[in-house]
Amino acid sequence: MNEFIAPTVEYAELSPLLIVLGAAVVGVTLEAFLPRRGRHRIQVVFTLVALVAALLATGWVAAGLDEVEGASGRGLIAAEGAIAVDGPSVFMWGVLLVFSIISVMLFAERRIEGGVSAFAGQAAALPGTEAEREASRQGIEHTEVFPLVLFAIGGMLLFPASNDLLTMFIALEVLSLPLYLLCGLARRRRLISQEAAMKYFLLGAFSSAFFVYGIALVYGYAGSFTLADIHAAVDNNTGSTNLLLAGMGLIAVGLLFKVSAAPFHAWTPDVYQGAPTPVTGFMAACTKLAAFGALLRVFYVAFGGAQWDWRPMIWVVAALTMAIGAVVALTQSDIKRMLAYSSIAHAGFLLVGFAGAYGGDGITSLQSVLFYLAAYGFSTIGAFAVVMLVRDPGGEATHLSRWAGLGKTSPLVAGVFAFFMLAFAGIPLTSGFTSKWTVFSAAWAGGAWPLVLLAVGMSAVAAYFYVRVIVLMFFSDPVVDGPTVSVPSLFTSSALVVAVVATVVLGILPGPVLDLAQQAGAFVR
Amino acid sequence: MDLDLYVPILAIGVLGAAFAFFSLAASWLSGPRRYNRARLDSYECGIEPTPQPIGGGRFQVKYFITAMLFIVFDIEIIFLYPFAVAFDSLGWFGLIEMGLFILTLVAAFAYVWRRGGLEWD
C-alpha cells in the first residue's frame, strides 16, 4: 500500500489568509455566545483588529519575499502548489485589506439610522409584517454581517493568489456566498434588496457553472489544474486546440461576470442598487480587485502562450464594456444605478489595460491594472459612503432629482461627492487621471492603440455624466423638502477622509504606490 | 485531432434528451388526468408534509435548516473517513488539522444551537 505523505503548508507566508478566515470562524462563535447587547461593538472591534493584524502580516510577508531563480518575479508557491504568494498577490492582499478596513467602518455606521446599522433587524421576518416592526422596535440587528464580510474577504484574498484552478473555484465560492447574503440584508427597501440578492445568486450560480465547465475542459486539454502545467501544455501545444479554446472562453465568462464586463454585466445595476450601500461599496472595490487579479493571473500565467487566441476576445469585450457602461450611465436617474454603470465603464478601462498584455520595460500591463484598481477602489468606496449620508425620511435619497441643489444646502458633502466624480472622470490632479494614464500607456505599449483611442473617447462620454451630476448639485435650485444630510459617526467620517486623501495623494503623488505596484513585479508560476 | 471519441458522449446526450421528451410526452398523452388531494401534495408519496404549511403553499423554512445541518455532518464524516484510513502516516499533522476542521464545524454548530435552530417549534 502506498504511504501517505503529509503535505507541507507554509503557514507563515499564508498568515494573512489564515488570520482573516480564522477570525471569521471566531466571529461566528462570538455570535453564538455573546449576549445581544454589546455584540455589535465587540464584533466591530474584533473584525477591525483582525483586518489590521492581517494587513501587518501582509507587510511582513511582502518584506520577506525572495527572488525566484530564473524568473522575473519574487515569491513562492505555497501549500503544495495551491497558492502563489508572489509580488502581485501580496500587493493585492495589502490593497484589499485596506479597502476592507474602510468598508467595515462603513458597515459599523449606526448614527445615520438612529442607533441601528444599515442592515435588516431580522432578515427572516417578511417585509411589512408585524414581526419586522417588532424587530425594529426592539432594535435588533444582524451582527452576523461582520463574520460574513470576513469570510468574503478571506475568499477575495485567496482568489487572485490561487495557483490552480480548483483552488480558484473554491475561493470564488467562498467570496461569493457571503456576498449574496449581504446583498439581501438592507434595512430599508427590503424587497428590492432581496430581489438583488436573488438575482445575484442565480446569475452567480450560472457563472460559476460556466467557470467550472471551463476548468473541466482545460483539464481535459492540459491534464492538470495547475497554472504552470497548463502554461507548459499551451507552449508545447499538446492536446486539442478546440478544448483549450472552449475552456478558455468558458473560464473567461465566469471571471468576466465577476468583474461585471459586458455582455455579462446585466446583474450589476440591479445588485448595486438593491444591496445595502456599504455592501455595494465593498463589492465595487474589493470584488472587482479580486476578480481582476484572478483574471490576470489565469490569462497571463496559464494562457499567456495562447494570447493571440484570447486577445481579440478581450478587445471586443473591453470595447463593449466601455461603450455600454458609459452610454447607458447617461440615461440613469438613480444615483446607485449610475455608479453601477460607472463601475462597468471602469471595468472596461481596466480590460483595456488587460488586453494590452504588455510585459516589457517600464510599467507592465499587470502593474498598471493593479495601480488602477487601488486608485479606483478608494474613490468608489468614498462615493458610496456619500450616498449613505444623503437621506430622505424613508432612507437614502437615491433618485438623482433629489440631489439637485445639494451644493447649496450642504456644500461640504456635495463638494466631496463632486471630487469623487472628477476622479472617476479622470480629471488631472485626481487619482483617476494618473491611473487612466498608466493603464492606457501600458496598453499603447502593448500595441492596443485602437482600443486606447476608443477608451479615451469613452472617457469623454463618461466625463459628461459625471459632470452632469456636479452641475445638478451646484447649478440647479434646491428641491423643496430636499434630502437631509446626516451627520455620520466617526467611522464613516474617517472612511470618507481616507478615501478623499487617497484620491488626492494618488493624483498628485502617485510615485510611492506606483513604485509598490512596480515592485510587485510579475506573477510567479 | 480525434473527435470520434466524443461521438458516444454525444449519443448519450441525444438519447437522454430523447428519453426525457418521450417520457413526458407519453405520460401527457396516455395518462388519465384525475387530480385529487394526494396528487397535488408536495410529495406525491402518500406522506403528509408535516407540519402543515400555514395557509398552504409555503414550505416551512425549518426544512432548510435541517437539510443544511444534515449536509454539514454528512461532509464532516466524508472528510473524517479518509483521514481515519491514513491516520498512521499523517501523524500529528493530520490530527491537528482534523482537530481544526472539526472545531470549525463546531463553531457553526454552536451558532445554530444557540440561535434555536435545533428547536422544531
Written as tens digits, the pLDDT of chain A (525 aa) is 466 777 888 899 999 999 999 999 999 999 999 988 889 999 999 999 999 999 999 999 998 888 776 666 788 888 888 999 999 999 999 999 999 999 999 999 988 887 788 888 888 788 888 888 888 888 788 889 999 999 999 999 999 999 999 999 999 999 999 999 999 999 888 899 999 999 999 999 999 999 999 999 999 999 999 999 999 999 888 888 899 999 999 999 999 999 999 899 999 999 999 999 999 999 999 999 999 999 999 999 999 888 888 999 999 999 999 999 999 999 999 999 999 999 999 999 999 999 988 887 778 889 999 999 999 999 999 999 999 999 988 888 889 889 988 988 899 999 999 999 999 999 988 999 999 999 999 999 988 899 999 999 999 999 999 999 999 999 988 888 888 888 888 999 999 999 999 999 999 988 888 888 888 878 887
Report CB contact under 8 Å: A6, B104.
Answer: no
B113 CB-near residues (< 8 Å, 6+ apart): A32
**Phi, psi at residue A67, to the nearest 5°?**
-65, 145
Residues of B in contact with A31 (CB under 8 A): 111
Report CB contact under 8 Å: A3, B89.
Answer: yes
Report CB contact under 8 Å: A26, B107.
Answer: yes
3-state secondary structure of A9: coil
Report CB contact under 8 Å: B114, A4.
Answer: no
Q: Is residue A240 part of a domain?
A: yes
3-state secondary structure of A85: strand
What is the tally of structural domains in chain A? 1
Beta strands in A42-159 (DSSP E): 75-78, 83-86
Contact A344, A437 (CB under 8 A): no
Q: Is residue A107 part of a domain?
A: yes
The continuous run of DSSP H or E covering A271 comes out as: helix A267-274
Q: Look-up: residue for cell 499523517?
A: B90
Q: Which three cell numbers mark A393?
A: 425620511
Predicted confidence at residue B55, as pLDDT, reads 58
A444 CB-near residues (< 8 Å, 6+ apart): A356, A452
Domain that holds residue A226: 15-519
**Cα A168 from Cα A291, distance rounded (Å):** 10
Q: What is the DSSP string of chain B?
A: ---GGGHHHHHHHHHHHHHHHHHHHHHHHHS-----TTTTSSSTTS---SSPPTTSSPPPTHHHHHHHHHHHHHHHHHHHHHHHHTHHHHHHHHHHHHHHHHHHHHHHHHHHHHTTTT---
Low-confidence residues in chain B, pLDDT < 50: none
Report CB contact under 8 Å: B107, A32.
Answer: yes
Beta bridge partners of A67: A74
Q: What's the distance, CA A191 to chain centroid? A: 24
**Among partner residues A5, A6, A33, which is closest to B114 by beta-carbon distance?**
A33
Q: Is residue A9 part of a domain?
A: no
**Phi, psi at residue A390, to the nearest 5°?**
-85, 110
Residue B50 touches partner A, C-beta closer than 8 Å = no
Q: Is A199 exposed, middle or buried (0-12, 13-18, 19+ CB in 10 A)?
A: middle
The answer to whether the Cα torsion of A351, A356, A359, A360 is positive or negative is negative
Report CB contact under 8 Å: A241, B113.
Answer: no
Predicted confidence at residue B8, as pLDDT, reads 87
- Region class of A357: left (phi > 0), else alpha (psi between -120 and 50), else beta: left
Residue in chain B nearest A4 by alpha carbon: B89
- Tell me which DSSP letter residue B2 carries: -
Q: Is residue A125 part of a domain?
A: yes
Please name the residues between 57 and 76 in chain B that touch chain A, using a CB distance below 8 Å.
61
Q: Which three cell numbers mark A432?
A: 483617476
Predicted confidence at residue B38, as pLDDT, reads 65
CB atoms within 10 A of CB B6: 11
Residues of B in contact with A28 (CB under 8 A): 107-108, 111
Residue in chain B nearest A1 by alpha carbon: B86
Residue in chain A nearest B62 by alpha carbon: A124
Predicted confidence at residue A205, as pLDDT, reads 94
Q: Which three cell numbers mark A59?
A: 507587510
- CA nearest A88: which of A113, A62, A114, A69? A62
Residue B104 touches partner A, C-beta closer than 8 Å = yes
Report CB contact under 8 Å: B89, A6.
Answer: yes
- CA nearest A321: which of A345, A291, A357, A295? A345
**Cα A180 from Cα A200, distance rounded (Å):** 6
Residues of B in contact with A124 (CB under 8 A): 61
Residue in chain B nearest A36 by alpha carbon: B115
- CA nearest A194: which of A278, A134, A271, A255? A271
Q: Is residue A476 part of a domain?
A: yes
**Residue ranges of domains in chain B:** 58-114
Predicted confidence at residue B56, as pLDDT, reads 57
- CA nearest A317: which of A289, A290, A340, A295? A295
